Amino acid sequence: MVSSGNFCRSGWVVASRLVSVVLFLFVVLPLMGLSLANTLLVTRQKPHKADAIVVLGGENTSRAEQSAALYKRGYATRILVTGKNEDKLIVKSLVAAGVPKEAVWVEPAATSTFENALFSVPILKQWKVKTVLLVTSCFHSRRATAVFRSNTGTIEFFSVPADNVPVAEVIKNRWLRERVLMEYVKIIGYWFKYGISPFNDFAVTSLRLPGNEIKCSL
């Protein structure tokens, strides 16, 4: 017969374990994801001369700023903007930043990262380009690069993401926190739906402790 004392102790054990699991899932794990975002979500290469720049449409105008900076520094002579309902703002920002309108092309149909690549790659192949600088937001860069490379064929994509966000700002800013954490969910979703893993080329030896800043700009 189980005594009431043993029953209470068992109940406390179950409750404490449940609390531990909840804390891990909703506090510890998200904090780890935010702290390691620079390592896990960001991929970037040093910009170099390329045949074209592809900038993904989005709410972040720094993507246009980054693309304009690359163009004006002579890294490429044309820019392809991809994204439904996003192209006008980015094109306007590019022109305002000094990029000639005739140097900007638009792919206006894509509604997701997968479609960004699906609809852009045929255009790039028509241009017969071999190398592309891919510009998107910092935390979106690893998934976006993996998606484009999975659709590429012979085109090489080099990630040159925008933004320069301190880790402390990400942690305290609700919008940024949600955006970063949702990126992990989308990575898992793309793996299951399309079989695309952004970590195929991710070396364990490249892991490093996060510094004070998430550096994603030129």
**How confident is the model over 118-168, as pLDDT tens digits?**
999 999 999 999 999 999 998 899 999 999 999 777 899 999 998 766 667
CATH for the 40-206 domain, from 3.40.50.620, 1.10.10.10, 3.40.50.12780, 3.40.50.150 = 3.40.50.620
Q: Which helix (H) or strand (E) holds 104?
A: strand 104-107
Query: Would you kindly state where each structural domain of the chain is located, as residue ranges?
Result: 4-35, 40-206
pLDDT at 6 over 60: no
Instruction: For CA atoms 51, 194, 36, 62, give the dihedral sign.
Output: positive
Q: List, in order, residues 6 or more apart from 168 with CB less than 8 Å away.
A: 212
Q: Mean pLDDT in the chain? A: 79
205 and 194 Cβ atoms separated by less than 8 Å: no
DSSP, residue by residue, 118-176: HHHHHHHHHTT--EEEEE--GGGHHHHHHHHHHT-TT-EEEE----EEEHHHHHH-HHH
| pLDDT for 129 | 95
Encoding tokens for residue 118?
Answer: 């699906």
Confidence of residue 71 (pLDDT cuts 50, 70, 90): very high
Q: What is the CA radius of gyration of the chain?
A: 21
pLDDT cut 70: percent of the chain above it: 71
Q: Which of 26, 42, 104 minimizes the C-alpha distance to 67?
A: 104
pTM value is 0.79
Q: Mean per-residue pLDDT for 32-49? A: 81
Residue 73: per-residue pLDDT: 96
Does the structure show a pLDDT above 50 at 27?
no
DSSP string, 19-52: HHHHHIIIIIHHHHHHHTHHHHT---------SE
Q: Which of 137, 158, 138 is nearest to 148 (CA)?
A: 158
pLDDT of residue 212: 37
